[in-house]
Amino acid sequence: MRIGLILALYDEFMSGGRIVREKFCKENFISERTLYRYLNDIRDHLRRGKSGCVISYSKEDECYFLEELPENGEIGEDAVRG
């Protein structure tokens, strides 16, 4: 189950999707803490691959999304690097 959910998250991010924490946790019967662990696994993978992308959180939309970093490495104002 763990790997399947991590891959599902990764695929959703790579296709431009957004993940709403509460909805994803309820649909997959996992705790928020488990989701954070999965997101950290994906963050580690992105860092190792030097992808130039980070998982960010939009407070306004209350969701996680994949954000491509510009050359200067700064992220948008409405997002919090998670």
pLDDT along the chain (82 residues), means of 10: 94 96 97 97 92 93 92 53 50
Classify residue 38 by burial, with Cβ atoms within 10 Å: 0-12, 13-18, 19+: buried
| pLDDT at residue 74 in the model | 56
Looking at the whole model, is its pTM more than 0.85?
Answer: no
Domain boundaries 2-81, corresponding CATH code: 1.10.10
User: In which residue are the tokens 């999707």 written?
Assistant: 17
